[in-house]
Every structure is written in C-alpha cells, then in structure tokens.
Amino acid sequence: MSATGADRRPPAVAEGTTALWPSLLSPADHGRDDLCAVAAEGVRVRFADGRQLLCGSSGLWNTNLGYGNPVIADATARALRDASYLSVFRYENAYARRAAAELVDLCGAGHYGKVLFSTSGGAANDLVMKLARQYHALRGTPRRKVVVGLRGSYHGLTYGSFSLTGDDLGQQVYGVDQRLVRHVTPNDPDELATLLQRQGAQIAAVVVEPVLGTGAVPLDDAYVAELLRLRDVHGFLLVADEVATGFGRTGSFFASQRWPGQPDLLVASKGLTNGTCAAAVVIASHQVADEFTGSGALLTHGETQAGTPVTCAAILATLDEMRRLDAVARGRRLADRLDTELGRLVSEHPDVSATTGIGCFRSVRVRGADGSALPNSEVPALVAAIRDAGAIVHPGLHGIQLFPALTYTEDELTELMECVRTGLTAYARTARNAEGGA
C-alpha cells in the first residue's frame, strides 16, 4: 500500500497507551484503565478496569448534585433539539436572557445588574482582569491596571488567570506575564494595607476566593471586613472568585452572600451547570455595569461557546434542581456530620495533623513518615491509596481535599470516611516500610 494520498494511515498507538493527552497526569500513567472513567451515576464512577468508586470530590468540585441528574439532562437535550447553537457574540439569545435574569435575581437584583457568559473559571478570571482595567479607564484612571490576588490561591491556568493564581505552578516556565499582578498573604490585612499605601492609585481590583482552593483556607470575618473597608478607601474593585465556593458548597448559595458588603464582581462556574457544560459567568454590580452602559463603551471579549442555549438550559435546570432538592440546606446538614467525622479523624488517626475548610469544602492535612508535613511530592501516592480503598479524592496541600456532593446520604459519607481511613493507614504503612528498607 502506498504511503501517500488516501492510503495514509495514522501511526498505531503503542499497546498500553492511548492518543489522549490528559491534564495534569504523569506520562507514565497515560493509558491506565484504572484511571479511565466510562460512566457515572449518583455519586459513583465506573472505570474501564471494571471498578466502581465512590466520588469524594464531586467530579472537579462541580457535580454538586451528583452525576446523571435527569432533569438537567432533559433540559439540555431539549435545547439542543430546539435551538442547537445560538451565541451571545454580537447577538443575544433568549436562553441567555433567561439565565442572566435568574442569576441576577439569585444574587440580588438590588446590587447586581448584568451577567457576562464565559466557558471556564480561568477564562472568566481573564475577563475579570480586562473588565476591571477598562472600568477604571472609563472613569478617567487608566493607570489602574494592577490586579491583586492571594498567595496560595487558584484562579485557573489560562494565561491571564495563571498570572493571578497564587501557587507556583510553573508560571515562569511558560512565560506568564505577572508584571501587573501582585500577591499578598491571605488573612493578613496589614500586608494588603501596606501594598495599597504604596500602589493604591495603580490597583484596579483585588480578587479573592472566599475559601482558598488548594489549601481550603477560609477568609476570616475580620479580613473580609477590612477588604470591604479598604475598597471604600482606595476605590479598587473587589472580586469574589466563587468558581469553587458557589452553589451551596460552603453553606449558602454563594459564600460572599454572608459578607457584610457585596463584591463588585462575582465569578461562578463549576456547580453552575452541575458539571454538564463548559460554562462560567461574571456577575457585575450595577456600579460596574452602569459605567459601560452610560458611556456606550464596548467590552472587547467574546467566546464562541459562551452563553449558548444548551449551556443556559443547563444553568436554569440546575437552579431549579437546587431549589427542588433543597440542596443548600442538605449541604449544611452534611457539613455538620462532616465536622464530626473529621474531628474523629484528627483525634483517632496518628497521621492526620489537621483539617481545614468550611461546609462541604474541606482538606485533610497529613504527616509524613518523619512526623513533619507530608511532602506534596508524596500526595499522589496517598491519593492512589485512597483510590485503592474505594474512593476518588484529589490532592490538597500536604494531604487531600474532600468535596462530597451536597446530595450525599449518611451511609455514603460513612463509606467515604472509611475509605479515607483505610487509604491513610495503607499509605503510612507503605511509606514506613520503604523508609525502613532504605
């Protein structure tokens, strides 16, 4: 057969590997059937090796109502049949209008006025940075271009959001431009105040997660109050990145709804469609939106798949299901039980040093074989041990993260905690044996 023209064939994939290049997975682990999911229902995921595991992370913190919700599935199917593809790029569509109105009502129409659609938390944070800088330019202060984030934060891996992410994840290797970004220590108001005293006239926005992602570190009440006060003094926009904390994850629909004042911009994604669509939103206050509408200014941003009928149908159905299932209240009850279970874990398991977080947004900090904090290089082995015990969890700072679905039953939470205990014990035994052998 000729090697030219129509006779060309793609090279065969080596046995044990696939053509897929998965995200944040070591090349040595590509092609493993025990890491290839084939189906999911409720709070369980089935893998290509035949195992079915309990999901302890709500997918990627986004399936807050569990997998396979039929109401959301039916709503998206209808939208695909009835409207297929419609955009919000130089046009509007009726689905996006309805979803935007529902989100404004949910967040508080007295404060919020407009919704911008995006496709991911990272892209939405890129949008936030552009929006904040143009807002100040319209107000006659174009020097305000610096955006401040928190150390240890996670805002995404697109180039703009990657610059804002406060963990060192290789930004320098990828040439990420951080010249107009600053980072300060969370829950340290003095450090932020010092930065504002030096550069306040250049700062466009301060972007915070109400609970910092990787470490599950909540912002304390005093810090939030100071953030709000400093905003009033210095005039920056305050942005709540609720990509992970939104949709009932921390005990209220949005964590910032418990703040004594509201942010100027609120970012939501993950639970927005219960994980069914690539979707995110930036919800803008009247103050921000009015600056654009009053001057007739055009915001230069657009994404092909943002605000489509299927995406907005999923948002509307997710909101309906959150209400029908009383998911926020269920999440609070689950969090109370989780408090008890995590307290027992700390007191009973010698390798657990602490737990952090609030609501159903938690982390478990673990000691290494020498008694110090578990090196982050060892966390994947701990995650694998818990997976072997029957549950899916994701890496956290010196340990693991726990994000159970708000719809978990008591039996499912008991099962999750038993898998964590078993995995912790198995990992510790293996690590100590390896240390003794060395």
User: CATH code at 341?
Assistant: 3.90.1150.10
Whether residue 156 is found in the same domain as residue 291? yes
Radius of gyration of the chain (CA): 23
Whether residue 175 is found in the same domain as residue 87? yes
Does any domain span residue 375?
A: yes
Does any domain span residue 52?
A: yes
User: CATH code at 299?
Assistant: 3.40.640.10
Does any domain span residue 3?
A: no
Contacts of 416 (CB under 8 A, 6+ apart): 54, 56, 391, 402, 404, 408
Whether residue 201 is found in the same domain as residue 101? yes
Assigned token pair, 168: 């060192």
- Output the CA angle 12-17-20, nearest 5 degrees: 90
Cβ atoms of 244 and 211 within 8 Å: the answer is yes
Helices (H) and strands (E) in the chain, counts: 12, 17
Largest CA distance in the chain: 75
Instruction: Give the whole-angstrom CA distance, residue 345 versus residue 400.
Output: 13
Whether residue 53 is found in the same domain as residue 132? no
With H, G, I as helix, E, B as strand and everything else as coil, classify residue 244.
coil
Residue 237 CB-density burial (10 A; 0-12 exposed, 13-18 middle, 19+ buried):
buried
Q: Which of 278, 313, 270 is nearest to 405 (CA)?
A: 270
Residue 5: the pLDDT is 40
Whether residue 163 is found in the same domain as residue 309? yes
Residue 436: the pLDDT is 64
Residue at a domain's end among 306, 324, 342? 324
Whether residue 376 is found in the same domain as residue 347? yes
Residue at a domain's end among 280, 295, 324? 324
Distance set, CA 85 to CA 74, 94, 235, 305 (Å): 17, 12, 40, 9
Residue 435: the pLDDT is 66
Q: Which of 299, 290, 271 is nearest to 114 (CA)?
A: 290
Residue at a domain's end among 324, 343, 363? 324
From first to last of its 438 residues, the chain has per-residue pLDDT tens of: 334 444 444 444 444 678 999 999 999 999 999 999 999 999 999 999 999 999 999 999 999 999 999 999 999 999 999 999 999 999 999 999 999 999 999 999 999 999 999 999 999 999 999 999 999 999 999 999 999 999 999 999 999 999 999 999 999 999 999 999 999 999 999 999 999 999 999 999 999 999 998 889 999 999 999 999 999 999 999 999 999 999 999 999 999 999 999 999 999 999 999 999 999 999 999 999 999 999 999 999 999 999 999 999 999 999 999 999 999 999 999 999 999 999 999 999 999 999 999 999 999 999 998 889 999 999 999 999 999 999 999 999 999 999 999 999 999 999 999 999 999 999 999 887 776 655
Whether residue 263 is found in the same domain as residue 373? no
Does any domain span residue 161?
A: yes
Residue 16: the pLDDT is 62
Instruction: Give the whole-angstrom CA distance, residue 81 versus residue 29.
Output: 38
Structural domain boundaries, residue 34: 12-65+326-437
Whether residue 352 is found in the same domain as residue 308? no
Does any domain span residue 6?
A: no
Does any domain span residue 2?
A: no
Does any domain span residue 412?
A: yes
Residue 11: the pLDDT is 45
Residue 194: the pLDDT is 98
Residue 84: the pLDDT is 97
How many angstroms from the chain centroid is the CA of residue 57?
11
Residue 432: the pLDDT is 77
Tally of domains in the chain: 2
Please give the sequence-ordered ranges of beta strands (E in DSSP) within 59-202, or none if there are none: 112-118, 146-150, 181-184
Instruction: Give the whole-angstrom CA distance, residue 73 versus residue 275.
Output: 11
Whether residue 311 is found in the same domain as residue 413? no
Whether residue 17 is found in the same domain as residue 161? no
Whether residue 235 is found in the same domain as residue 292? yes
Whether residue 330 is found in the same domain as residue 314? no
Does any domain span residue 4?
A: no
Residue 370: the pLDDT is 86
